[in-house]
Each structure stands twice: as structure tokens, then as C-alpha cells.
Amino acid sequence: MNKLVSIITPCYNGEKYVSRFLDSILNQTYKNIELIFVNDGSTDKTEEIVLEYLPAFRQEGMKLIYKRQANAGQAAALNEGLKWFSGEFLTWPDSDDYLDPLSIEKRVDFLEYNPDYGLVRSNAYYVDFYTLKNVRKLAVLPRRYESRLFEGLIKGIQYWVNGCYLVRTAAFLDVNPERSIEYSFVGQNVQMLLPVSYKYRCGYIDECLFYYVNTPGSHSRVKRTYRQSYERCDEFYRLLRSVCNGITMSETDRNKYAGQLEEYRMLAHRDLALQYKQREDFERYEMSLQRNHGKYSCIPVLWVYFFKRWERVLKMESKNLIKRFVR
């Protein structure tokens, strides 16, 4: 049976790339698709471009459902799409990425032949925005074959890339009957994937069926200050805790994952401090990790080397500035 696949795609100011995404949907070998495209208050020509595709979608036997809202963020746009989707399978790729022509067909086939799986994912290519050349494969480690993803997702050793996943609607609605996620500036994929991955197994197709584009200025790839990154990290782990608290699980599991999340939050902050050369914060988090979680890492040794090397560079730059000033 040719079951309906729902694709929900939020978009804000996507005129530079939305045609590439829409063409990739039209080129799917699997045709029973409804695309719910949510324009999140774009101020460019996104609306004009998308509406021009309506005849092409009808010609391919696909549905294009266009929704427009005032700019409210990706989570709000996803919630709008979740109200309307009616397919037996669901995916939610971003509009700056695109799909391989066999992407939907192969993932549907997997779930049809494996009814005990609630979702499936494929590998993907990480693509340069300007050349569209494949930079590397997204997943290369053996853990990509694991079917129980929940712990790997909260540890950050499994990938969240939304367009790689196809979820069985019955499984999704089983854990999210309200068809809504929390409004947050981070973590939409956390909310879509964590509950279903806790209860259901995930299949894996070892083919690159999705193209994850490194788009400059996109919300997940923009350059940030240390404070902005720190706050974003805190919000991400707050959201992880909130999602875990909403999942039906044993008290043993709840306590176990609460402890793990706090540890991973501190590790993430420690790594941010190292990345942004914030020595005091780094040492504070490293000491706390050793005291509270019994962790010892080689990073303090590396930090001493790194920090001293950084100080030497600063001194050299200062001397050069003084010389130029004296001249």
C-alpha cells in the first residue's frame, strides 16, 4: 500500500535556497507526499517562490499545503505544521537542506518491512553551501547501527539531523498526542526525537539519503560570543531535562538520566570555556566534575599548554603593536 508521507518544513527568508529544497521533494521516486510548508514571517521572496511550485506539485500527484504566520521561531512553525499533517509517516527537514531522490522511498520501505521499529534514519552528506560539494559523511562510527538511541542522543554521540529521520506517525502520536512541542530557540529536534526514541527502536540505512548544508548565518551555525553560547547551552540542557521529565519512565531511569544530564551540561560548559579561552570557568567546571562525578581528564594538562601558548601569542602581538606605534 502506498502510504502518505507528511513533510513539515519551517522557513524564514529562504529565497536563496528554497527552490533547491522544493525540487528535491518533486524529484522523489516516492510520490504519495504532502509537504506542509510553514512560512515563519519571511520578508523576502520566499512566499512568491513557494506558491509558484503549486502547479508542479499537483502535476506530480503531491500535496503542497502552504501556511504563513508572523515570525515566531522554528518551534512555533513546527507546531503549526503538526496541527495539519495527516500522513502515516512524518519527517521535518529544514528548507536549506535537501533530499536524495530515493530518500523517502527507502525509508518508507524500511518501516514497512520492519513493523517493530518506530522510526528509521539514514546517513547524510555534510555539504558546502557555496559549491554543494560533499565535505564528509555525517556518521562514520559503528554506533550509527545502534537501534536504541535515547542515551546516545542525550550524551551527544548520536546525531540529531532532522532530515535523516522518518517517524511512524502512530509511534509519534503515542508519545506526543497533543501534537505540540515547547517554544524554545533551541532543541526542536530534541523534542521531536527523544520521546519516540525512548520507547521505540530506530532503524538505520547506511546510505547518504540527505544533504545537510552548511548555510552561513543559519540559527544552528551562526557565530556567537562566549556568553551567547553559554546561554544557548544552558537552554538546551534545560529543554533536555524538561523533555525527559515529560516522558513516562521508571523512577530509576528518571534519576539515572537526571544525573547524566547534569554531568553532560557541565562537560559542555567546560568545553565551551576551553574553546573560548575562559580559564577560570574551565578550571571551575573541571574541578566540579572531578568532585561530583569522579571524572579526571587529560584536558587540564592540555589547557596549561594551550593557555601558555595563547599568552605567548598575545605578548608577541602586543610587542608588534608597540613597534608599529613607535614607528
Q: What are the grid coordinates assigned to 40, written together? A: 515563519
Q: How confident is the model at residue 298 (pLDDT cuts 50, 70, 90)?
A: very low
Amino acid making up residue 45? K
Q: How confident is the model at residue 325 (pLDDT cuts 50, 70, 90)?
A: very low
* Cα 41 from Cα 47, distance rounded (Å): 9
pLDDT of 97 strictly over 70: yes
Backbone phi and psi for residue 28, each to the nearest 5 degrees, phi listed first? -65, 140
Task: Return the CATH number of the domain spanning residue range 5-214.
Answer: 3.90.550.10
Largest separation between any pair of C-alpha atoms in the chain: 80
Mean pLDDT of the chain: 88
pLDDT digits (tens, 9 = 90+) for 219-267: 556 778 999 999 999 999 999 999 999 999 999 999 999 999 998 999 8
Rg (alpha carbons) of the chain, rounded to whole number: 22
- Mean per-residue pLDDT for 81-92? 97
* Cα 248 from Cα 266, distance rounded (Å): 26
Q: Which residues contact 21 (CB under 8 A, 6 or more apart)?
A: 9, 14, 93, 95, 96, 97, 98
pLDDT digits (tens, 9 = 90+) for 145-187: 999 999 999 888 888 899 999 999 999 999 999 999 988 878 8
CB 261 within 8 A of CB 194: no
Query: What is the pLDDT, as a whole number, of residue 290?
Result: 83
Query: Model-level pTM?
Result: 0.86
Question: Regarding predicted confidence, which is higher, 195 or 306?
Answer: 195
